[in-house]
Structure formats: C-alpha cells, structure tokens
Structure 1
Amino acid sequence: MKKLFGVTTAMVTPMNEDGTVNLEETEKLTNFLIEKGVDCLYPLGTTGEMFKLTLNERKQIAETVINTAKKRVNVFIHAGAMHTSDTLDLAMHAHKAGADGVGVVTPAFFTVSDLEIENYYATIAKQLPGDFPIYLYSIPQLSGNKLSIEVVTRLAEQFPNIVGIKYSYPDFITLKDYTKVRSGEFSVLTGADKLFLPALAMGCDGVVSGVSGVFPEPFVKLYQHYQHNQIEKTREIQHVADEIIHILRGGANMSYFKKALELRGIQAGSVKAPHMDIISNDISALETAINQWKAEYLKL
C-alpha cells in the first residue's frame, strides 16, 4: 500500500472573497507544489482549515487536488470530522475520487477514552477497503485527545490498512515509541516542521509540513541531502528552514501562510471566519522578513 514520506505538504485551502473555496487557485497551488518537488500532498488538515469547511467544500477540494495531481505524487486526503458518520463519508468519497489514502485526526474537543478512540478508528478501518491506506493523526494540543502507544499498537495489529501516523506534538519519546509499532514497519511522520531532520534521524519517514506549502524549497533540499547522507548540509538547511517557520508563525495563524503565498503568485485569499486576515501593519513586516530570509537562503 502507498504511504506518506519525505516532504509531505499540508496544503492551505484557497478561498474566494465571499468565503467559498477557490478551486482555480487550488489547482494552481497543487501544480506549484508538485513542480517544486514535494513528495506527497495532504490537503484539508489543520493547515487546510478542515473543521471550518462544509462537507461539500471538502469534497470539492479533495477532487480538485486529486484530479490536478494526476498521480504525479501521492495524495492523502484528511477526512477527520466531528461526527464519525461525516468522517466515513469523507473517507469513502476520497477513495472513490481516486486518493492514494486518507488521514484521520482523533476525536476532538470532547474528551474520549482509549477504548472510544480505538473503537472510532476500528469503525473507519472496517468500512474502508482493506487495501486503502489510513493514517492516524494525533495533535493533542488542539484536539484535546492523545493517541497512546498501546492504542496505536492494537490498531496496527488488527487493521493492515492502518499504515501509519502523523504526530504533530514535539514529544520525541512518543515519536520514538511509534517507530517501534509493527516491528518498525509502521509509517511515522512528524507534524512539527522544526523537527524534520531530527525525526528522519530517529527513523521516521518524513514530515507533514504546513510551511512547505508556502516555501517548499528548503524542505525539499533538506530531504535530498539527507538521502545522500550529507548530514552537515542538512543541519545547515534545517537551521535556515527554522527561520522561515518562525517568520510564518509555524502555522499558528493561517493568514500568514496565505499572505506569503500571495507574494509567490498564489491567490490563497482569506482565512475562514471566525479567524481574521493579517492586518496591514503586519503585512509590511512580513514582506520585509521574507525578503531578508530569501537572501540568506540563496547563500546555501
């Protein structure tokens, strides 16, 4: 089964002025990222403002990315939703639309037990085809629920179509423990952009990176040098990547991603309410910081 690896880009969701999804710019963004050399695409996750979109909007974006990618890279659609029935609807739609797999975040906001989390993922895995890959997605600082190593191990043992996990909390102990699941054959990716190189070094398959959706170049270059065992160079690139991660606030405010994409020729538009766009004073500071960073990056 196909898996995520290397530079897996968590895509923003381009919006029109009226708050609807912009499919034309989604096509443009998809092509831009593939042409820049990312390995996989991961639309409609946290970076894609998942819970703020309607089911129909999420399906439209999924179809657009899948059809535009045309199998040039692996496309895994994030299908997690607040209702199990909606998650299944989105996951089944992704399969039918031709996705290479799906990601599913843990239940969010409401506290759930390990048994309830396990049952949630088991329900999804049973109803999807056995050869259709599923990634667990743990982001406990936002969802409020953790995926324990015990639950992940049991799910991986029961369901071959649960092939890996995206872990978006900077906890190296847990990340390391995930790499032991299924005797090391379980796919593990960090969702923390600043931990790309350290995660690779401990045996993870890559990063699911939001910042690479704006500036994929340093992440692609880092992975290329890592594959050639050029460790000193990868350290240098990671340090420079850390700077653009800081400038774009690491995805804490998606309007920074969207404004930066506009500077690159992609009209990603506004963020979905209730969030607000970056204010004018911050736009000037952002442009200055990006230009200074570009000059430094070009020296690599």
Structure 2
Amino acid sequence: MKKLYGVTTAMVTPFDERGKVDPGSVARLTEFLIGKGVHCLYPLGTTGEMLRLTPEERKAVAEEVVRTAAGRVTVYIHAGAATQEETRALARHAQEIGADGIGVVTPVFFGANDRELEAYFVDIASCVPDDFPVYLYNIPQCAANDLKTDTAQRIADRCQNVVGIKYSYPDFLRTNEYIGIRSGDFSVMQGADRLFLAALALGCDGVVSGVSCVFPEPFVAVYDAYLAGDLDKARQLQRTAVACCEAVRSGSNMAYFKEALRWRGVDAGHMRAPQLDLPPEEVEALHRLLGELPGF
C-alpha cells in the first residue's frame, strides 16, 4: 500500500466565473505541481473547499486529478464529507477510479465523542478493500472534533488499511504520540507548513501543505536538503517556505492562494460563494508582498 510522504500538496479547487468547477484548470494545476517535483497530491481537502462541493463535483475533480497524474505521483483523494453516507460513497469512488488512497477528516461541526469517532472511521475503512490505504485526518480547530491518540490507536488496531494520519495542528507532543502508533509503523504527516523541517526531524514522513500548491519549490528543496543531510541548507530553505506561508496567510483564506497562483501564471480560478475573490486593493498589496519573496 502506498503511503504519503515528502511534499504532499493540498490542492485548491479552481472554479470558473460562474462558480462552476473548471476541469481544465484542475488538469493544468496538476501538471504544474508535478512539474515542480511534489511527491504526492491531495485534492478536495480543506484547501480544496471540500464542503462547498457537491458529491458529483468532488468525483469529477478526483477523476481529473487521477487521470492527469497518470501514475506519475501518488494521489490521495480526500473523501471526508458532511454525512457518513457521502463519505462512504466518495471513498468507494476514489478506489474505483484508481487513486492510491484516501484521507478522511473527522466528522465536522457537531460534536462526536471518542466512541463515535472510532465507529465512524472503522465504518469508512471497512467500506473499501483491506489493501486500499486510509489516512485519518485531524484538524480540530476547523472540524470541532479532536482525534485523540488512543482513539487513533484503536482504529489502527481494528483496520489494517488505516496506515497513517494527517495532523493539521501545531502540537508536537500529540504528533510524537501519533508516531508511536503501531510501534512506529504508522505514517504521520504534519499539516502545519511552517513546521515541515521540524516535523521531519521528529519522525514524520512529510507535510500535507496547502502553501506548496502555490510555492512548491522551497518545500521540495527542504525535503531534498534534509534527505541529503544538509541541515544548514534545509533550515535556510525552511525560512523561505515560512516567508511564503506568511505572504499568502497560510490558508486563512484560499482566495490568497488562488491570486498568488495567478501571479505565478497559473490560473487557479475563482472562489465559490459565500467566499469572494480578493478586492483590487488586497490584490495589489499581495502582489507587492509576493514580489519581495526570495527566488520569486
């Protein structure tokens, strides 16, 4: 079973001016990221405005990414949805179209206790084949539910295809606990872009990074320098990555990501209501910041 590693890019979802998914822009963004050397693609997560898409739209985007990638990089489809049945359907669809695996966020908005979270993930993991890998996805600041280590451990014990977790919260104590699941044979991907190098040093397999959708180069370079054992170079590159994070406000509003991609010559489309594209004065301010980034 393929696992996530290195620079796994959380992709934005391009919409056209009418608010419709733009398949051509999805394909071009996929090619851009592969060309820049990212290791894995992760569409339809938080960065991809997942809960603003219908199940049919999500399937169409997943199909476009898998088709365009054509096996050149690992592709995990985020399948977590507002209802359990939708999540099951999206999980099965990802497996059917040839994705390498899925990520599944905790239930969102409504509180779920540990017993409910365990039952939820066991159900989702059981609806796909035992050899189709699943990553848990914990982003408590957005989802309003936190997946504790002992709960994740019970899920992994019950489901052999639950191979790892994406943890999008800057808590290294919890991150270290996750790394210990299955005596260390459990993939942990940190979702805090600013902590990429530190997460690698701790033992994570990589980062699931939204900012790398706009600026993949410094993140790929950090990983390469780390693997080569050049920590001084990796630290310097991490500072560049952090500067990129700060310029696009690190995921607080995907409109910054899409405008920054446009500045780079990649049409990532528009936002979907109720979110709006940036007003002209913010576009101008963003472009000034981007023009000051080293190497860009």
TM-score range, shorter-chain basis?
over 0.9
Counterpart position of 1:111: 111
Distance 1:116 1:216 in 2: 37
Distance 1:192 1:272 in 2: 24
Q: Would you say the 8 A contact 2:25–2:269 is kept in 1?
A: no
Q: Deviations over 1:15-68 (max 9, x none)?
A: 111101000010000011001000000000000000000111100000000000
Distance 1:93 1:154 in 2: 26
Distance 2:58 2:127 in 1: 20
Q: Secondary structure at the match of 1:31?
A: helix
**Shift of residue 265 of structure 1?**
2.0
Residue type matched to 1:119 in 2?
A
Distance 1:66 1:269 in 2: 20
Counterpart position of 1:171: 171
Please tell me the root mean square deviation across aligned C-alpha atoms, in Å: 0.7
Aligned: 1:193 with 2:193:
yes
Distance 2:140 2:110 in 1: 12
Residue type matched to 2:32 in 1?
F
Aligned: 1:256 with 2:250:
no
List structure 1 runs of 4+ shifted beyond 3 angstroms: none
**Shift of residue 92 of structure 1?**
0.4
Q: Would you say the 8 A contact 2:111–2:145 is kept in 1?
A: yes
Counterpart position of 1:98: 98
Residue type matched to 1:96 in 2?
E
Q: Deviations over 1:214-255 (max 9, x none)?
A: 110000001000000100111111111111100100011100
Match of 2:295 among 287, 294, 297: 297
Distance 1:57 1:65 in 2: 13
Which structure 2 residue ranges, 5 or more long, are not aligned? none
1:1-300 matched pairs, under 5 angstroms: 1-293=1-293, 296-297=294-295
Distance 2:126 2:286 in 1: 46
**Shift of residue 175 of structure 1?**
0.4
**Shift of residue 297 of structure 1?**
3.1
Distance 2:290 2:78 in 1: 29
Distance 1:281 1:126 in 2: 49
Distance 1:2 1:51 in 2: 26
Residue type matched to 2:230 in 1?
Q
Give the percent of matched residue pairs that are identical in Structure 1 and Structure 2. 53
Q: Would you say the 8 A contact 2:7–2:40 is kept in 1?
A: yes
What TM-score, normalized by structure 2, do the two folds share? 0.99
Residue type matched to 2:295 in 1?
Y
Q: Deviations over 1:133-156 (max 9, x none)?
A: 000000000000000001111111
Q: Secondary structure at the match of 1:241?
A: helix
Distance 2:123 2:284 in 1: 48
Q: Secondary structure at the match of 1:278?
A: coil
Aligned length: 296
Q: Deviations over 1:242-274 (max 9, x none)?
A: 111001000111000001111122211211111
Distance 1:19 1:125 in 2: 32
Q: Secondary structure at the match of 1:151?
A: helix
**Shift of residue 126 of structure 1?**
1.3
**Shift of residue 161 of structure 1?**
0.2
Distance 1:256 1:15 in 2: 14
Residue type matched to 1:63 in 2?
E
Q: Would you say the 8 A contact 2:21–2:57 is kept in 1?
A: yes
Distance 2:126 2:100 in 1: 17
